[in-house]
Amino acid sequence: MTSQMKQEPPVQSKVIVITSGKGGVGKTTSAAAISAGLAQRGYKTVVIDFDVGLRNLDMIMGCERRVVFDFINVIQGDARLKQALIKDKRLENLSILPTSQTRDKDALTKEGVEKVLNELREEFDYIVCDSPAGIERGAQLAMYFADEAVVVTNPEVSSVRDSDRVLGLLSSKTARAENADAEPIKAQALLTRYDNQRIASGEMMTVDDVLEILAVPLLGVIPESTAILRASNTGTPVVLDEPSNASAAYADAVSRLIGEQVEMRMESDRRPSLFQRLFGRTA
C-alpha cells in the first residue's frame, strides 16, 4: 500500500449518499463534516453536490470562489473530471465536485452519473454524495449507485416520516436493490439538531423513539449547536472548526462509518454550570 496513514483502507471505494427527504435537516452540513472527517483520517475522499440548480455545498466547504467547471459540465463532456474537482485547501485528501447553478436536475443522467462515479472510484476511497431534498430525480440519482446511506433525521414528525419514505426508496429504487445478488444498501440514521433539554422536558422525541420507528442502526446523534451556524458562516466543515460538541459528535459518527466501535455520547451544547463543574457529574 502506498499510504501508511490509513487505518483500514476500504478494500473497494465506497459511495455513501447523505439523504433525508425533508429539506433543512442538515444534509449538506453533514456531508461536509463527514467527508472532511474521512479525509482527516487519511482516506482519499470526494464530496459531490447533487443539488443541481441550488448549489450550496461549495459555500459550506468554503470554496465557492474557486468553482470553474461543475458536475454537469463533466457529464456533458464540456470539461474533464480533473478540471472540475476542487482540491480542499485545508486537507489534501479532500476534493469537492460542485454542481451547476444554472442547469436543472434534468441535466443529470443515470449513465452520466455512473460514468463519473466509476472514474472517481479509481482515485478515491470514499465518494460522499450530498443529495438534494425531496424524492425526485436528483435525490434518486444521488442514491442510485450508493453502497451505503446516511439518512439525516431531526427528532420531529415530518422529518421522521420523510426519512421512512427515503429508506423505502433505498431498498427498492437503487442499483443494489435491483440486483438480486448484491447486498442491500447499508442505511444508517444520523440524528441532527438533537436537544437534550427539550427531550428531558418531553417536548422532543428521543433517539429510541426515532430508531424504533425507522428500524435502522444509529450512526450518530448531533446535538443542536451554535457551532454549526458559525462553521457555515465561515465556510468550514464543522469537524475542522473549533472543538464543539457537534464536531465531536460528527467525529464519532465518522469513526462508526469506517467500522470502529464508539460509544454513543449524548451531550447538549450547553456548558455545565459552575455548580455542576464543581461537584462533578452526578447524573
Partner 1 sequence: MFGFSLRPRKTAPKSAQTARDRLQILLAHERSSGSGPDCLPELQRDILAAIKRHMKIDTDAVDIRMDRGDELSSLEINIEFPASQPAR
Please report, as ranges, the residues that interact with partner 1 according to CB under 8 A: 59, 64-70, 73, 78-80, 83, 100-102, 229-230, 232-235
Write down the least CB distance from residue 197 to partner 1, Å: 24
CA 268 – CA 276 distance, rounded (Å): 14
Measured from the CB atom, the residue of 64 and 269 that comes closer to partner 1 is 64
| Nearest-approach distance from CB 229 to partner 1, in angstroms | 8
At its nearest, how many Å lie between partner 1 and the CB of residue 46?
A: 18
Most distant pair of Cα atoms in the chain: their distance = 64
SS3 280: coil
Residue nearer to partner 1 on the CB measure, 70 or 195: 70
State phi, psi for 235 to the nearest 5 degrees: 70, 40
Give the separation between CA 245 and CA 269, rounded to whole angstroms: 6
CB of 232 to partner 1, least distance (A): 7
Q: Which three cell numbers stand for residue 184?
A: 442491500
Cβ atoms 278, 258 nearer than 8 A = no
Nearer of residues 198 and 230 to partner 1, judged by Cβ:
230
Closer residue to partner 1, CB minimum distance, 29 or 232 = 232
Helix (H), strand (E) at residue 64: none
Least distance between partner 1 and beta carbon 81 (Å) = 11
Least separation in angstroms between residue 62's CB and partner 1 is 8
For residue 105, the minimal CB distance to partner 1 (Å) is 16
Residue number with CB closer to partner 1 (3 or 233) = 233
CB nearer to partner 1: pick between 140 and 232: 232
φ/ψ of 178, rounded to 5, equals -80, -20
Using CA atoms, how far apart are residues 126 and 195, in angstroms rounded to an integer? 30
d(CA 40, CA 125): 13
Q: What are phi and psi of 244, to 5 degrees?
A: -150, 170
Judged by beta carbon, residue 101 or residue 171, the one nearer partner 1 is 101
C-alpha span between 181 and 64 (Å, rounded): 41
Helix, strand, coil % in the chain, rounded to nearest 5: 40, 15, 45
